[in-house]
Amino acid sequence: MSKNIVVAVCGGIAVYKTVDLVSRLKKKGHNVYVMMTKSACEFVTPLTFQTMSQNEVVTDMFAPVSNWEVEHISLATKADVMLVCPATANIIGKIASGIADDFVTTTIMATKAPKVICPAMNNNMYDNVVVQRNLSKLKNDGCYIVEPGEGFLACGTVGKGRLTELENIEDAIEEALCTDKDLLGKRVLVTAGPTREAIDPVRYITNHSSGKMGYEIAKRARIRGAEVTLVSGQVSLRPFSGINIIPVTSAQDMYNAVINEYDHSDIVIKAAAVADFTPKDKSEHKIKKSDSMSLELTKNPDILMNLGEKKAHQVLVGFCMETKELMENARKKLAKKNLDFIVANNLNTKGAGFGTDTNVVTIIDKLGNEQSLDIMSKGDVADIVLDKALEFIRK
Ligand code: C5P
């Protein structure tokens, strides 16, 4: 959905990255309004941001107005999110102390929108106790602080202070845009992706799971305020910022990780495609070529079944992917694994299944309710699954 993002650009060398960020936000369909401090204009001209945002850039409190709105109030009211990027030690100090002495700081003072602050500066400046104190003040005041990364800094030193990757800033904006934090204080445990069962040091057995469904659930839960742990098989996805990620390889690894986390989780959603079998004997060395070979497999632990047996206060959610008799199988699993509800999909349905960005699911709960949903994005399915889990927590 298109939102109004007001970007306060300050005078640091990382401004060139903010140009790219504005472009990315525009591509996502947002309206972007840029305001620049005087020193920011020394690094990049307003024309660059005007072109990228396709909006007039404001730099001067007392410039002749192009319309009759009081500009800093108008931007402050318009903002769904106020982004400060890069945030210098100077602006951090000003916001934390309530100073409003130019267009940028006055607008920030006048807004009720959530603030996302992205510090970028020399590492010694960043480490300075005053800067750290100001940042904790802002954090306590409810600002989202996007921590800088470590590495080579423009001033020639190596340390913590470089503007973080733009993906992390985009994540913080998404988090800030969600004002209904209905999962705040809840601990959500999600599993995602395939498991890999080693045959020898070179080969393994796996499945086609991309992990997208589980990663979307983890992301949406985080955005809605939950503390999220994601136990993930090997996938090529970037986890959303702020998620505690536990990478695993085999079903046994996943079992160990999940059991460890289970007691202190409120909602457990098992979206992983766990291998049911694993090679009985894993060869220490690479198996040599021969005319034929056979592999003996042995059963893996059924993680969800174990969780069902141990269930105390948790809301337990399973996934079920089938190629036939979907509903019968899903109902059976729901009962057998002692779940609160199960999310079922058929691999052969168009828009459902592995690697897609969409899914077509039916949700069956232990009270006998069955809800068939149309094709939708995995993000939307994730929200519906989380809504339903919340319903069960409240019951
Ligand atoms: O019985 P089936 O494997 O089809 O059930 C699917 C559900 O059970 C999924 O939620 C999956 O993550 C979970 N599962 C598990 N441990 C296994 C196999 C499946 O937790 N060994």
pLDDT score for 61: 66
Candidate list 10, 85, 143, 155, residue with the active-site label: 155
pLDDT of residue 69: 62
Average pLDDT estimate for 58-64: 72
**DSSP 8-state assignment for residue 175:** H
Residue pair 207/194 in contact by the 8 Å Cβ criterion: yes
Do β-strands 187-192 and 267-270 pair in parallel, antiparallel, or remain unpaired?
parallel
pLDDT in tens, 295-306: 999 999 999 999
In contact, 304 and 318? CB cutoff 8 Å: yes
Percent over 70 (pLDDT), the chain: 97
Residue from 209, 250, 276, 302 to probe ligand 1 pocket by mutation (most atoms less than 8 Å from CB): 302
| Residue 276, pLDDT score | 96
CA of 203 to the centre of ligand 1 (A): 23
Q: Which residues line ligand 1 (CB under 6 A)?
A: 191, 251, 270, 272, 274, 276, 300, 302-304, 318-320, 333
Mean pLDDT of 284-305: 96
Distance 220 CA to ligand 1 centre (A): 22
Closest among 115, 117, 126, 109 to 18, alpha carbons compared: 117
Q: How much of the chain, in percent, has pLDDT values that exceed 90?
A: 91
What span, in angstroms and rounded, lies between the C-alpha atoms of 230 and 191?
Answer: 6
User: Residues 104-113: pLDDT tens digits?
Assistant: 999 999 999 9
Element at 307 (helix H, strand E): helix 303-310
Contact 210, 290 (CB under 8 A): no
Q: Which atom of ligand 1 is nearest to the CA of 301?
A: 21
Task: Report whether pLDDT(32) > 60.
Answer: yes
Spacing, Cα 395 to ligand 1 middle (Å): 25
Mutate-to-test residue for ligand 1 from 269, 300, 303, highest number of ligand atoms within 8 A of CB: 303
Judged against a pLDDT cut of 60, whether residue 65 lies above it is answered with: no
Distance set, CA 332 to CA 265, 267, 272, 343, 368 (Å): 25, 21, 19, 13, 12
What's the average model confidence in pLDDT over 360-373? 96
Band of pLDDT at residue 72, cut at 50, 70 and 90 = low
- Verify whether residue 155 is a known catalytic residue: yes
Higher pLDDT, 67 or 330: 330
At residue 67, the pLDDT reads 58
Residue 15 — pLDDT band, cuts 50, 70, 90?
very high
167 falls in which pLDDT band (50, 70, 90)?
very high
88-105 pLDDT, tens digit each:
999 999 999 999 999 999
Token output for 191: 């599993």
Is pLDDT above 60 for 129? Answer: yes
Residue 208, pLDDT > 80, answer: yes
Residue 149 backbone phi and psi in degrees, to 5: -95, 175
Atom of ligand 1 nearest to the CA of 251: 21
Query: Left (φ > 0), alpha (ψ -120 to 50) or beta: where does 161 sit?
Result: left
Whether the model pTM is above 0.85: yes
**Mean per-residue pLDDT for 128-144?**
98
Nearest residue (CA) to ligand 1, atom 6: 320
Looking at the predicted structure, is the pLDDT value of residue 178 above 90? yes
Q: Is pLDDT of 73 > 90?
A: no
Average pLDDT, the chain: 95
Residue 71 has pLDDT above 90, yes or no: no
d(CA 321, CA 333): 11
Least confident piece of the model among 9-23, 56-70, 132-146, 199-213: 56-70
Query: Which tens digits make up the pLDDT trace of 309-364?
Result: 999 999 999 999 999 999 999 999 999 999 999 999 988 889 888 889 999 999 99
Q: What is the per-residue pLDDT for 68?
A: 52
Neighbours of 164 (CB within 10 A): 21
